[in-house]
Amino acid sequence: MGQIINGKEIAANIKEEIKSFVENRAENNKRIPKIASILVGNDGGSIYYMNNQEKVATSLGLLFKKVILEDSIKEDNLIDEIHKLNNDMNVDGIILQLPLPKHIDEKKVVAEISPEKDIDCLTVESQGKLYMGEAGFLPCTPNSVLTLLKSLKMSLEGKEVVVLGRSNIVGKPAAQLLLNENSTVTICHSRTVNLKEVCKRADILVVAIGKPKFVDETFIKDGAIVIDVGTSSVEGKITGDVDFDKVINKASFVTPVPGGVGALTTTLLIKNACEALKNNEN
């Protein structure tokens, strides 16, 4: 029977590092990291994420500013708000809650975020650094995948990795992060031929397709490591893309949902804000 990779436990360790960093700054009368989160409208999911980000950030001693705007706001006015935060030397990280209202050009607005404060890795410059292998903020969900794998204290070099899903938010950047670790990476998607056969080659299978319990034991080889990024609501319960009960007996390690990738994401976002502060001081 496989083992569970405990995202909550890993997140708790990182939180202690962040808390210690902030406390040390406070003791030495240095500026505390500050995050500004922008919400346009009243999307329920975005409100949940913003409140959760605030809860985690403030519990670790960071400052958190909410910028809540009407969904009728004009695009230029939203850009003005972003520019104010870009120019505020006390703000280290900017989060823009997505999606934006339909009358706003999301790509245009995201491009206005200062790359030095883009802790959610949304801008083209931040993503370009990722794909060029240059130092910069790492996107939090893909970085959660990598952090969970690294917690196993094994080399990723040469490992055959299959990433199921090609989204710009998870699939592609997760594949790139693993490629940067010298893994051999295959990306699968809805047009992939012989999908099960490709997945069964994987030493590590990363699943991010948004289809609850799509992957069962027939997709994986004995002893594979399975990272489930999926979060769908099924009968009021958060459910992953992997049928955990069927896969746990065949895999060597599996992440649960909840308690796996998602448990780490917000913590890594807060860590990026601390890194932004350090970068600004150097």
pLDDT, one tens digit per residue, over 79-132 is: 999 999 999 999 999 999 999 999 999 999 999 999 999 999 999 999 999 999
**1 pLDDT above the threshold of 90:** no
What are the sequence ranges of the domains in the chain?
29-115, 140-262
- Tell me the backbone φ, ψ of residue 156, rounded to 5 degrees: -90, -10
SS3 content of the chain, % helix, strand, coil (to 5): 45, 15, 40
166 is in an annotated binding site: yes
The residue among 47, 102, 93, 34 whose CA lies nearest residue 71 is 102
Report the pLDDT value the prediction gives residue 84, as an integer from 0 to 100: 98
Distance of CA 9 to the CA centre of its chain: 17
Total-model pTM:
0.93
Cα 182 to Cα 163: distance, rounded to the nearest angstrom: 15
- Given the DSSP bridges, would you call strands 237-239 and 232-234 parallel, antiparallel or unpaired? antiparallel
SS3 assignment, position 20: helix
Burial label, 43 (beta-carbon count in 10 A; 0-12, 13-18, 19+): middle
Q: Which CATH number fits domain 140-262: 1.10.1370.30, 3.40.50.80, 3.40.50.720, 3.40.50.280?
A: 3.40.50.720
Cα 275 to Cα 142: distance, rounded to the nearest angstrom: 17
Q: Over the stretch 131-186, which tens digit does the pLDDT of each residue have?
A: 998 989 999 999 999 999 999 999 999 999 999 999 999 999 999 999 999 999 99
29-115, CATH topology level: Rossmann fold (3.40.50)
Report the pLDDT value the prediction gives residue 281, as an integer from 0 to 100: 84
Which residue in this structure is represented by tokens 């069964």? 200
Q: Which residues pair with 95 in a beta bridge?
A: 37
Distance of CA 256 to the CA centre of its chain: 16
Q: Over the stretch 32-83, which tens digit does the pLDDT of each residue have?
A: 999 999 999 988 889 988 999 999 999 999 999 999 999 999 999 999 999 9
Do domains 29-115 and 140-262 share one topology? The answer is: yes
165 is in an annotated binding site: yes
Cα 270 to Cα 103: distance, rounded to the nearest angstrom: 30
The H or E element spanning position 228 is: strand 225-228
Which residue in this structure is represented by tokens 């308690």? 259
**Crossing angle of helices 261-281 and 44-59, rounded to 10°:** 60
